[in-house]
């Protein structure tokens, strides 16, 4: 979802999210420059429309500010379908152009080390993925970065 003024919009098109993020470029720049970070970490889920469309634009903005950037992206679970997986993989190249260090997490990988007797449901799968993301981000924060920015869509 994208917050703009008093309304929240949800559109099923990558192009819309790219355009909305470009329109918010000045706000994004201002938010980054206000914090004077030495590094910006961008975390996004790829395969849908919001993260897949917006994250590469944010990475481009960060690069234009000559800041070190780290991207952590997830690709869809197998059960989410081939179209989402294809969309994620084809848009990773856009992210790679603008990011200094990119970590790609295959969502299915979080299911590899669970016991066969455990059959995770929909919510459990995303909780396992969230835990993996949190662990990776915590590792970055354990390294001494000055003024690392953390923001969500609610930040806009």
Q: What is the mean pLDDT of the chain?
A: 85
CB distance 53 to 18 below 8 Å:
yes
For 18, the domain range is 2-155
Number of domains present in the structure of the chain = 1
**Which of 3-12, 25-34, 55-64 comes out lowest in average pLDDT?**
3-12
Task: For residue 28, give the DSSP letter.
Answer: H
Whether the model pTM is above 0.85? no
Give the pLDDT band (50/70/90) at residue 138: confident
Has residue 132 got a pLDDT over 80?
yes
Residue 17 near residue 53 (C-beta atoms within 8 A): yes
What's the CATH code of the domain at 41? 3.40.50.1440
Quote the strand ranges of the chain, DSSP E. Answer: 2-4, 7-9, 39-45, 68-75, 101-106
Q: How far apart are CA 58 and CA 20, in angstroms?
A: 11
Q: Please tell me the distance from the alpha carbon of residue 101 to that of residue 65, in angstroms, as a whole number.
A: 16
């Amino acid at each position: 979802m994208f917050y703009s003024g008093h309304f929240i919009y949800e559109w099923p098109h990558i192009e819309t999210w790219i355009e909305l993020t470009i329109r918010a470029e000045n706000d994004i720049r201002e938010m980054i420059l206000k914090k004077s970070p030495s590094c910006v970490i961008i975390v996004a889920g790829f395969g849908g429309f919001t993260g897949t469309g917006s994250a590469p634009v944010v990475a481009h903005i960060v690069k234009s500010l000559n800041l070190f950037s780290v991207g952590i992206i997830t690709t869809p679970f197998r059960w989410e379908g081939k179209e989402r997986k294809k969309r994620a993989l084809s848009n990773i190249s856009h992210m790679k152009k603008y990011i200094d260090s990119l970590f790609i997490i295959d969502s299915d990988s979080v299911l590899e080390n669970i016991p066969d007797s455990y059959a995770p449901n929909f919510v459990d799968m995303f909780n396992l993925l969230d835990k993996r993301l949190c662990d990776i981000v915590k590792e970055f924060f354990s390294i001494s970065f000055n003024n690392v920015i953390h923001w969500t869509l609610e930040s806009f």
